[in-house]
Amino acid sequence: MLIVERQNRLLELLRERKTAQLEVLAEALAVSSSTVRRDVEALEEQGLVARTHGGVIFRQPSPAAQRNTAAMALEDRMHEQVEAKQMIAAEVGKLVEPGMTVYLDGGSTMHFAVGHIRARPLQVVTNSLTVALRFAEDDGVELLVLGGSHYPRTGVLIGPITTQSLAGVHADLMLFSGAGLYEGHVYNSNLALAEVEKLAMRQAARKVLLMDSTKFGRKSLAHICAVEELDLIVADGAVEGRWREALGKRLRVAGES
Protein backbone atom coordinates (compact mmCIF):
# COMPACT_ATOMS: atom_id res chain seq x y z
CA MET A 1 0.00 0.00 0.00
CA LEU A 2 1.35 3.44 -0.96
CA ILE A 3 1.91 6.01 1.79
CA VAL A 4 -0.82 8.31 0.44
CA GLU A 5 -3.26 5.40 0.17
CA ARG A 6 -2.45 4.24 3.72
CA GLN A 7 -2.91 7.73 5.16
CA ASN A 8 -6.16 8.11 3.25
CA ARG A 9 -7.39 4.81 4.70
CA LEU A 10 -6.31 5.95 8.18
CA LEU A 11 -8.40 9.11 7.73
CA GLU A 12 -11.39 7.04 6.63
CA LEU A 13 -11.12 4.89 9.76
CA LEU A 14 -10.94 7.95 11.99
CA ARG A 15 -13.77 9.66 10.16
CA GLU A 16 -15.92 6.62 10.94
CA ARG A 17 -14.77 6.11 14.55
CA LYS A 18 -13.94 9.71 15.48
CA THR A 19 -11.21 8.45 17.83
CA ALA A 20 -8.95 5.39 18.08
CA GLN A 21 -5.87 4.02 19.80
CA LEU A 22 -2.66 3.76 17.78
CA GLU A 23 -2.47 0.00 18.34
CA VAL A 24 -6.00 -0.46 16.97
CA LEU A 25 -5.15 1.57 13.86
CA ALA A 26 -1.92 -0.36 13.34
CA GLU A 27 -3.82 -3.64 13.47
CA ALA A 28 -6.52 -2.39 11.08
CA LEU A 29 -3.92 -1.24 8.55
CA ALA A 30 -1.62 -4.24 9.09
CA VAL A 31 1.39 -2.04 9.79
CA SER A 32 3.63 -1.31 12.77
CA SER A 33 2.77 1.18 15.51
CA SER A 34 5.76 3.31 14.49
CA THR A 35 4.41 3.55 10.92
CA VAL A 36 1.00 4.65 12.19
CA ARG A 37 2.68 7.17 14.48
CA ARG A 38 4.54 8.73 11.55
CA ASP A 39 1.35 8.86 9.48
CA VAL A 40 -0.53 10.49 12.34
CA GLU A 41 2.22 13.11 12.74
CA ALA A 42 2.01 13.92 9.02
CA LEU A 43 -1.79 14.22 9.16
CA GLU A 44 -1.61 16.32 12.30
CA GLU A 45 0.65 18.81 10.53
CA GLN A 46 -2.12 19.19 7.94
CA GLY A 47 -4.70 19.83 10.66
CA LEU A 48 -6.67 16.67 9.87
CA VAL A 49 -6.17 14.81 13.16
CA ALA A 50 -5.04 15.52 16.71
CA ARG A 51 -2.96 13.23 18.90
CA THR A 52 -4.06 12.33 22.42
CA HIS A 53 -2.36 10.18 25.05
CA GLY A 54 -1.93 6.86 23.25
CA GLY A 55 -4.47 7.67 20.58
CA VAL A 56 -5.71 10.05 17.92
CA ILE A 57 -8.94 11.90 17.12
CA PHE A 58 -10.37 13.04 13.79
CA ARG A 59 -10.62 16.78 13.16
CA GLN A 60 -13.15 17.90 10.58
CA PRO A 61 -11.57 20.80 8.64
CA SER A 62 -13.80 23.79 8.07
CA PRO A 63 -14.96 24.58 4.51
CA ALA A 64 -12.91 27.79 4.63
CA ALA A 65 -9.78 25.89 5.57
CA GLN A 66 -10.36 23.42 2.76
CA ARG A 67 -10.66 26.25 0.26
CA ASN A 68 -7.83 28.42 1.48
CA THR A 69 -5.09 26.14 2.79
CA ALA A 70 -2.37 25.40 0.24
CA ALA A 71 -1.49 22.09 1.84
CA MET A 72 -5.09 20.92 1.61
CA ALA A 73 -5.40 21.98 -2.04
CA LEU A 74 -2.29 20.00 -2.90
CA GLU A 75 -3.37 17.09 -0.69
CA ASP A 76 -6.65 16.83 -2.58
CA ARG A 77 -4.86 16.40 -5.90
CA MET A 78 -2.42 13.92 -4.39
CA HIS A 79 -5.37 11.56 -3.98
CA GLU A 80 -6.17 11.76 -7.70
CA GLN A 81 -4.52 9.50 -10.29
CA VAL A 82 -2.10 8.20 -7.64
CA GLU A 83 -1.00 5.13 -9.58
CA ALA A 84 -0.36 7.18 -12.74
CA LYS A 85 1.66 9.78 -10.85
CA GLN A 86 3.71 7.09 -9.15
CA MET A 87 4.54 5.58 -12.55
CA ILE A 88 5.67 8.95 -13.86
CA ALA A 89 7.63 9.65 -10.67
CA ALA A 90 9.60 6.42 -11.00
CA GLU A 91 10.65 7.43 -14.51
CA VAL A 92 11.88 10.84 -13.33
CA GLY A 93 14.71 9.31 -11.33
CA LYS A 94 16.27 8.03 -14.58
CA LEU A 95 16.50 11.55 -15.99
CA VAL A 96 18.51 13.20 -13.22
CA GLU A 97 22.27 12.66 -13.04
CA PRO A 98 24.81 13.63 -10.36
CA GLY A 99 26.19 17.15 -10.72
CA MET A 100 23.14 18.51 -12.54
CA THR A 101 21.33 21.76 -11.87
CA VAL A 102 17.63 20.87 -12.00
CA TYR A 103 14.64 23.21 -12.04
CA LEU A 104 11.55 21.72 -10.38
CA ASP A 105 8.12 23.31 -10.26
CA GLY A 106 5.27 22.37 -7.92
CA GLY A 107 2.13 20.28 -8.06
CA SER A 108 1.09 16.82 -6.95
CA THR A 109 3.00 14.94 -9.65
CA MET A 110 6.22 16.66 -8.61
CA HIS A 111 5.50 15.77 -4.98
CA PHE A 112 5.70 12.11 -5.96
CA ALA A 113 8.63 12.64 -8.32
CA VAL A 114 11.08 14.22 -5.87
CA GLY A 115 11.21 11.02 -3.85
CA HIS A 116 12.71 9.26 -6.88
CA ILE A 117 15.44 11.84 -7.47
CA ARG A 118 18.37 10.11 -5.80
CA ALA A 119 21.32 11.46 -7.83
CA ARG A 120 23.81 13.35 -5.65
CA PRO A 121 25.40 15.88 -5.58
CA LEU A 122 22.68 18.03 -7.06
CA GLN A 123 21.67 21.67 -7.40
CA VAL A 124 17.92 22.18 -7.16
CA VAL A 125 16.20 25.39 -8.22
CA THR A 126 12.53 25.62 -7.33
CA ASN A 127 9.62 27.98 -6.79
CA SER A 128 7.74 25.30 -4.85
CA LEU A 129 7.60 25.45 -1.07
CA THR A 130 6.72 21.75 -0.94
CA VAL A 131 9.71 20.76 -3.07
CA ALA A 132 12.01 23.04 -1.07
CA LEU A 133 10.99 21.38 2.20
CA ARG A 134 11.73 17.93 0.77
CA PHE A 135 15.35 18.92 0.06
CA ALA A 136 15.93 21.41 2.87
CA GLU A 137 17.92 19.05 5.11
CA ASP A 138 19.64 17.05 2.36
CA ASP A 139 23.40 17.60 2.57
CA GLY A 140 23.83 16.36 -0.99
CA VAL A 141 21.60 19.05 -2.45
CA GLU A 142 22.41 22.73 -2.93
CA LEU A 143 18.99 24.35 -2.80
CA LEU A 144 17.97 27.66 -4.41
CA VAL A 145 14.42 28.78 -3.60
CA LEU A 146 13.01 31.52 -5.81
CA GLY A 147 11.03 34.28 -4.11
CA GLY A 148 7.62 35.59 -5.08
CA SER A 149 3.93 35.67 -4.23
CA HIS A 150 2.34 32.49 -2.93
CA TYR A 151 -0.14 30.67 -5.20
CA PRO A 152 -2.19 28.49 -2.81
CA ARG A 153 -3.51 25.96 -5.32
CA THR A 154 -0.10 24.39 -5.91
CA GLY A 155 2.00 25.94 -3.14
CA VAL A 156 4.35 27.67 -5.60
CA LEU A 157 5.76 31.20 -5.73
CA ILE A 158 4.91 33.33 -8.75
CA GLY A 159 5.00 36.92 -9.97
CA PRO A 160 7.67 39.49 -10.90
CA ILE A 161 9.97 38.65 -7.98
CA THR A 162 10.01 35.03 -9.12
CA THR A 163 10.77 35.84 -12.75
CA GLN A 164 13.48 38.36 -11.76
CA SER A 165 15.16 35.72 -9.60
CA LEU A 166 14.89 33.12 -12.33
CA ALA A 167 16.33 35.36 -15.05
CA GLY A 168 19.89 34.85 -13.81
CA VAL A 169 19.68 31.09 -13.35
CA HIS A 170 20.65 28.31 -15.77
CA ALA A 171 19.45 24.71 -15.40
CA ASP A 172 20.60 21.55 -17.12
CA LEU A 173 17.13 20.06 -16.77
CA MET A 174 13.64 21.45 -16.19
CA LEU A 175 10.92 19.16 -14.84
CA PHE A 176 7.43 20.62 -14.75
CA SER A 177 3.76 19.76 -15.09
CA GLY A 178 0.74 21.46 -16.63
CA ALA A 179 -3.04 21.43 -16.63
CA GLY A 180 -3.50 20.11 -20.13
CA LEU A 181 -2.13 19.20 -23.55
CA TYR A 182 -4.35 20.16 -26.46
CA GLU A 183 -3.70 20.18 -30.22
CA GLY A 184 0.06 20.29 -29.88
CA HIS A 185 0.23 22.87 -27.09
CA VAL A 186 0.70 22.75 -23.31
CA TYR A 187 -1.49 24.81 -20.96
CA ASN A 188 -1.73 25.71 -17.30
CA SER A 189 -4.53 27.11 -15.18
CA ASN A 190 -2.82 30.32 -13.98
CA LEU A 191 -1.37 33.11 -16.13
CA ALA A 192 1.37 34.13 -13.69
CA LEU A 193 2.41 30.51 -13.18
CA ALA A 194 2.60 30.01 -16.94
CA GLU A 195 4.89 33.06 -17.21
CA VAL A 196 7.30 31.53 -14.70
CA GLU A 197 7.29 28.26 -16.62
CA LYS A 198 7.91 30.03 -19.94
CA LEU A 199 10.96 31.79 -18.53
CA ALA A 200 12.22 28.61 -16.87
CA MET A 201 12.07 26.90 -20.26
CA ARG A 202 14.31 29.58 -21.76
CA GLN A 203 16.79 29.08 -18.91
CA ALA A 204 16.95 25.28 -19.18
CA ALA A 205 18.97 23.16 -21.59
CA ARG A 206 16.47 20.27 -21.51
CA LYS A 207 12.73 20.57 -20.89
CA VAL A 208 10.66 17.63 -19.66
CA LEU A 209 6.90 17.74 -19.09
CA LEU A 210 5.35 15.36 -16.54
CA MET A 211 1.68 14.78 -17.33
CA ASP A 212 -0.76 12.01 -16.44
CA SER A 213 -2.99 10.64 -19.18
CA THR A 214 -6.19 12.32 -17.93
CA LYS A 215 -4.79 15.73 -18.94
CA PHE A 216 -4.23 14.79 -22.58
CA GLY A 217 -6.85 16.49 -24.75
CA ARG A 218 -7.53 19.22 -22.17
CA LYS A 219 -7.16 22.95 -22.76
CA SER A 220 -6.71 25.42 -19.92
CA LEU A 221 -6.44 29.18 -19.40
CA ALA A 222 -2.79 29.96 -20.01
CA HIS A 223 -0.59 28.80 -22.88
CA ILE A 224 2.91 27.62 -21.88
CA CYS A 225 4.52 26.24 -25.02
CA ALA A 226 4.19 24.17 -28.14
CA VAL A 227 5.00 20.48 -27.89
CA GLU A 228 7.92 21.04 -30.28
CA GLU A 229 9.65 23.14 -27.61
CA LEU A 230 9.83 20.15 -25.28
CA ASP A 231 12.54 17.51 -25.27
CA LEU A 232 10.38 14.89 -23.59
CA ILE A 233 6.89 14.23 -22.23
CA VAL A 234 6.62 11.56 -19.52
CA ALA A 235 3.16 10.02 -19.14
CA ASP A 236 1.61 6.93 -17.57
CA GLY A 237 0.64 3.75 -19.39
CA ALA A 238 -3.00 4.76 -19.87
CA VAL A 239 -2.16 7.41 -22.50
CA GLU A 240 -4.18 6.69 -25.65
CA GLY A 241 -2.75 5.37 -28.88
CA ARG A 242 -3.54 8.53 -30.84
CA TRP A 243 -1.29 10.51 -28.53
CA ARG A 244 1.46 7.94 -28.79
CA GLU A 245 1.31 8.22 -32.56
CA ALA A 246 1.13 12.02 -32.62
CA LEU A 247 3.97 12.59 -30.16
CA GLY A 248 6.24 9.81 -31.36
CA LYS A 249 9.71 9.69 -29.79
CA ARG A 250 8.98 12.83 -27.80
CA LEU A 251 6.66 10.76 -25.58
CA ARG A 252 8.04 8.38 -22.96
CA VAL A 253 5.47 6.08 -21.40
CA ALA A 254 6.53 5.19 -17.87
CA GLY A 255 7.21 1.51 -17.39
CA GLU A 256 7.57 0.84 -21.11
CA SER A 257 11.01 2.34 -21.71
Cα-flanking dihedrals φ and ψ of residue 158, to 5°? -140, 175
**Alpha-carbon span 58 to 73, nearest angstrom:** 19
Domain ranges of the chain: 3-60, 82-253
**Alpha-carbon span 49 to 57, nearest angstrom:** 6
Return the SS3 of 89. helix
pLDDT tens for the chain, 257 residues long, are 657 667 778 888 888 888 999 999 999 999 998 998 888 887 776 677 888 877 899 876 544 444 444 444 555 555 567 888 899 999 999 999 999 999 999 888 998 899 999 999 999 999 999 899 999 999 999 999 999 988 877 889 999 999 999 999 999 999 999 999 999 999 998 888 999 999 999 999 999 999 999 999 999 889 999 999 999 999 999 999 999 999 999 999 998 86
In degrees, rounded to 5, the angle at the alpha carbon of residue 138 between the alpha carbons of residues 133 and 140 is 140
The whole model's pTM is what? 0.71
Q: In CATH terms, are 3-60 and 82-253 the same topology?
A: no
Fold of the domain spanning 82-253: Rossmann fold (3.40.50)
The arrangement of secondary structure in 3-60, i.e. its CATH architecture, is Orthogonal Bundle (1.10)
